[in-house]
Structure 1
Amino acid sequence: MGPGPNPGLSYLALTAVAVGSMVGAGIFTLPRSFGASTGPAGALVAWAITGFGMYALARVLQWLSTVRPDLDAGIYAYGKEGFGNYAGFLAVLGYWLVACIGDVAYWCLLTATLGHFFPAFGEGNTFPSMILATAGIWGFHFLILAGVKGAASVNAVATVAKVIPILLFIILLALSFEPATFDDNFWVGGEQPEEGIFQQIRATMLITVFVFVGVEGANVYSRYAKRRADVGRATITAFLLVLALMLLVTLLPYGHFPRAEIAALTQPSMASLLKAVVGPWGAILISLGLIISILGAYLAWTLLAIEVLFVAAKNGDMPRMLARENARGVPSASLWFTTLTVQALLFIAWYADDAIQLLVELSASMALTPYFLVAAFACKLVIRGEGGNDLRCRLLACIALLYTIGMVYAGGLPILLLSLVFYAPGTILYVVIRREQRGRVFSMSESMLCALVVLGGMAGVLGLCRGTISL
């Protein structure tokens, strides 16, 4: 078995895993990300849509964990069970890439945080930033290779480290909140964006998806739970706690500064805001909490990425070589493959105009594939009459499916094609798997799906070459 939590995780431990998985780099960037697109009115609608959609998805995960307890290899297992080997593979690949892209986002945000004190690091995409991030990536690689385990305990420490400064940020901004400024910003305020309210909301939707990636954290480690029923309860509890944090972090800044000033903040914008409100110590407080939480979260998410590959390889959903372990019981092949991928993604991010924003949108887009398959599998069970005839479950499955489809639309064609640039070459791994198993590579329907993925990937590369898709 690869790195992971110890057997027998309690309800509170599972909740901490899910909260820690969701509360990552994204929450520290929310003020500027929303301020650049919309005001409080648009933010409230965006969070309402996301809250409703993600709640439905969380409830679907809760329901699936009880009606199909045999599927405990992670959320990708639902895609494979419902729609075949290739769909299951795409879910594995997508979820693993989400973890890898998130790891790069962590390093970009960490170096951008250092940029507040050392200008050479800029906003996370300068040459010194890349050198420091590279050193960190390989430092963690050899640390894990030496036998470091315990994602759950690391995640718990990181969760405390990040939640305390976030709570202080909320309290300090709430105490000095100015209703008049909030009212001025409500319908955007200041410089009016050219887009209407619908386009403003759409521009924020992938951001909201990104910050909720990890809602399935308890489900990923479901086989370690003391009680299966705790998995669903922990998922819902964590979701509600994190939604409250996200809302407050997004809305409170509008009660202090005009929207245009919030949009001009450097990332991590939470640190910039607190510095403006209480002085330099505010930026130091947020930055220290952010750096500690990023280092812990990076280790936890890297271990999760390895877990995904290792378990998938053991189950025949990734090449067998990725199930190899070293003498210390660490899935070394999965670790090397993950680290090299993170390093390659870091080089790509270095060339991006806004590395953090690109990584946020790309990670969210990649996450939609496994989420869509979860919702579609739930709908399939409902149609077949499995899991009872609870009307509420039927409605939640349909809502979750519509939500994931809507998020693909909200993300737009360019980011969808960019995600397919990663999925298309990844299909080579699937061919390797099927040949290892000496099975038929593609069924007729899978051939059609593969053709769409490859054509989309080619269109994405063409768009990058022509400049119609930009990094």
Structure 2
Amino acid sequence: MSERPVTKLSLLALFAMVVGSMVGAGIFNLPGRFAIATGPFGAIIAWAIAGTGMYMLARVFQTLAAKRPDIDSGVFAYAKAGFGDYVGFLSAFGYWLGSCLGNVFYWVLIGSTLGRFFPEVFGDGSSAPAIAVSLVGIWLFHFLILRGVEQAAYINTVVTIAKIVPILVAILSFIFFFHYDQFAENFFGGTGMPEKPLLQQVRDTMLITVFVFIGIEGASVYSRYARTRSDVGRATILGFVAVTGLMVAVTLLPYAVAPRAVIAGVANPSLAGALELVVGHWGAVFISISVLVSVLGAYLAWSLICAEVLFAAAGSKDMPRVFGTQNANAVPANALWLTNGVVSCFVISTFWSRDAFNLMLDMTSVTALLPYLLVAIYGVQVARGGEGYEHTSGERGRDLVIGALAVIYTLFMFVAAGLEYVLLMAVLCLAGTVLYFWARKEQNARLFSGVELLIFVVTIAAALGGIYGLVTGTIKI
């Protein structure tokens, strides 16, 4: 494995990595997705739950960065430190797979955005021409990233700044055209929308809130590149606060410019359609261009993260050692090849999906929940054990409460997601366990401890349930 020194990233670069990872596709679909589910009252409750839960999770990442500075690439490494090799592998694989599915979603969104202008060619983003364009883009980015992390990180910083400006323009436009009477009419649900209980309204927004917060751990994943370890925690919190403000504004302000039913009916990306309602067609064009810039920038960030997760997992012997090699530019090339190969296969599979857009969005959210849950539980474990608190014992009680709230939030998200998505995740995790067997064989190591064997059996049972659902049609993709 190469010992070439890695490029160190500043606080600004880490902050841009967090913002660039979070502000991708999801924020441009918030108006329509929320309007379908609920009115402003339900949206406020949903963001209060999601914002509080994700803030607690961000604080857990910040705390673990300070208390366990010996653990790099934190998302899966924390799971391994707390719960053993197989759980660490499942966390790493789940996080990597979720990142791959998120990248697929980005290309579907690019196709659907182009479909706004060329509907007969690109359709909803899963047509044959859209898939062909996606495959070309995937491999162009692949060879760009192979040229070096430093160059890619710099491009990500520039793109992050460029894509925030159109979102701010949209927010200012909504503020300028804000109509209190329209907002009040929509507040408790509006007219022309089906009635449903408030709890169901909030639940229907939960997976999209998880999706738009994915990337909050971007600085933690890149902790080995940080110039100063404390910058990891600072970048995480700063990125969370900045992006949360943008997302809440993008969600709530459109309710003040048009009836909820109208907002719910606009095509994806729905922020473009919502802005078109108040400023005309140029608004849709403006946001659509921004979507393309934003999604391509986020795709760059997430391609880096995908490869980094595989590389770090191979370095800690949780993945086959072939993924722990770097090229002359210190890029984990083999990890990148596998990542983009898997992304390409999933992109091709969208041709047969009845709703590729929402399927990839929801599956990305669910696969991210497992690593998040394990990190939250490990945060509780560290606070209870007192490791790293030798000189700050007064912080243990606070961090224990924060970790417990993060655990409750992620468990609630699993319930809100629905059983079918959890079973589909189990199918993918079972298939991925082949990589775990490969890695353990390389090390001549025991496959499972007693508890790990039980976890493996549960995974098999859940995967069989998912396969049965797919075969019988009770789970539809």
Counterpart of 1:116 in 2: which secondary structure?
Answer: helix
Q: Does residue 432 in structure 1 map to residue 438 in structure 2?
A: yes
Q: Which AA in structure 2 matches 1:373? A: L
Question: How do residues 238-317 of structure 1 correspond to structure 2 at under 5 angstroms?
Answer: 238-317=239-318
Q: Does 1:418 align with 2:424?
A: yes
State the identity as a percent: 49
Q: Distance in 2 between matches of 1:364 and 1:282?
A: 29
CA contact (8 A) 1:112 1:121 kept: yes
Matched pairs, number: 470
In the alignment, the residues of structure 1 paired with residue 329 and residue 206 of structure 2 have an alpha-carbon distance, to the nearest angstrom, of 43
* 8 A Cα contact 1:5 1:151, kept in partner: no
Partner of 1:21: 21
CA contact (8 A) 1:95 1:366 kept: yes
Cα deviations by residue, 1:27-70 (Å, 9 ceiling, x for unpaired):
00111111111111111000000010000000111111111000
Corresponding residue for residue 350 of structure 1: 351
Task: Quote the Cα distance in structure 2 between the aligned partners of 1:468 and 1:337.
Answer: 31
Q: Do the aligned residues in 2 keep the contact of 1:271 with 1:286 (CA within 8 Å)?
A: yes
The answer to whether the 8 A contact 1:6-1:152 is kept is no
What one-letter code is carried by the residue in structure 1 that aligns with 2:447?
V
Q: Aligned AA for 2:357?
A: I
Aligned to 1:203: 204
Aligned partner of 1:381 in structure 2 is 382
Shift of 1:106: 0.9
Contact 2:56/2:405 (8 A) holds in 1: yes
How does 1:16-415 map onto structure 2 within 5 Å?
16-119=16-119, 120-145=121-146, 150-386=151-387, 387=389, 388-390=393-395, 391-415=397-421
Contact 1:95 1:367 in 2 (8 A): yes
Quote how far apart the aligned CAs of 1:6 are. 6.2
Shift of 1:194: 4.2
Select the residue among 446, 455, 465 that pairs with 1:449.
455
Give the TM-score normalised by structure 2. Answer: 0.95
> Letter of the aligned partner of 2:271 in structure 1?
M
Distance 1:355 1:198, change over 3 A: same
Select between 199-208 and 227-236 the one with higher mean Cα deviation: 227-236
Alpha-carbon shift at residue 231 of structure 1 (Å): 1.4
Query: By how many angstroms is 1:326 displaced?
Result: 4.0
Pair 215,130 (structure 1): closer, same or farther in 2 beyond 3 Å: same
Q: Which amino acid counterpart does residue 372 of structure 1 have in structure 2?
A: L
Once the two structures are superposed, what CA deviation does each residue of 1:158-180 show, in whole Å capped at 9, x if it has no partner? 21121111000000011001111
Aligned partner of residue 150 in structure 1, secondary structure: helix
| Secondary structure in structure 2 of the residue aligned to 1:115 | helix
More displaced stretch, 89-98 vs 353-362: 353-362
Counterparts of 1:268 and 1:251, CA distance in 2 = 16
Tell me if structure 2 keeps the 8 A contact 1:154–1:300: no
Q: Relative to structure 2, which stretch is displaced further, 324-333 or 372-381?
A: 324-333
Structure 1: runs of 5 or more not aligned: none
Distance 1:44 1:219 in 2: 29
The one-letter code of the counterpart of 1:382 is: A
Amino acid at match of 2:251: T
Q: Match for 1:102: what amino acid?
A: G
Establish whether residue 460 from structure 1 lines up as the match of residue 462 from structure 2. Answer: no
Alpha-carbon distance, 1:332 to partner: 2.5
Task: Report if the CA contact (8 A) 1:5-1:224 is conserved.
Answer: no
Q: How far apart in 1 are the matches of 2:131 and 2:61? A: 37
Deviation at 1:218, TM superposition (A): 1.1
CA shift, 1:401, in A, is 0.6
Give the Cα separation in 1 of the matches to 2:5 and 2:360: 27
Q: 1:5 touches 1:153 (CA, 8 Å); kept in 2?
A: no
Letter in 1 for 2:428: F
1:284-335: per-residue Cα shift (whole Å, max 9, x none)? 2111122122222212211221111112112211111112334554433212
Distance 1:17 1:151 in 2: 11
Contact 1:310 1:331 in 2 (8 A): yes
Query: Is the CA contact 2:208–2:361 (under 8 Å) kept in the aligned structure 1?
Result: yes
SS at the partner of 2:334?
Answer: helix
CA distance in 1, matches of 2:266, 2:475: 25
Gaps of 5+ in 2: none
Q: Compute the TM-score of the two structures, normalised by the length of structure 1.
A: 0.96
RMSD: 1.8
Q: Could you tell me which amino acid in structure 1 is paired with residue 291 of structure 2?
A: L
Deviation at 1:256, TM superposition (A): 1.2
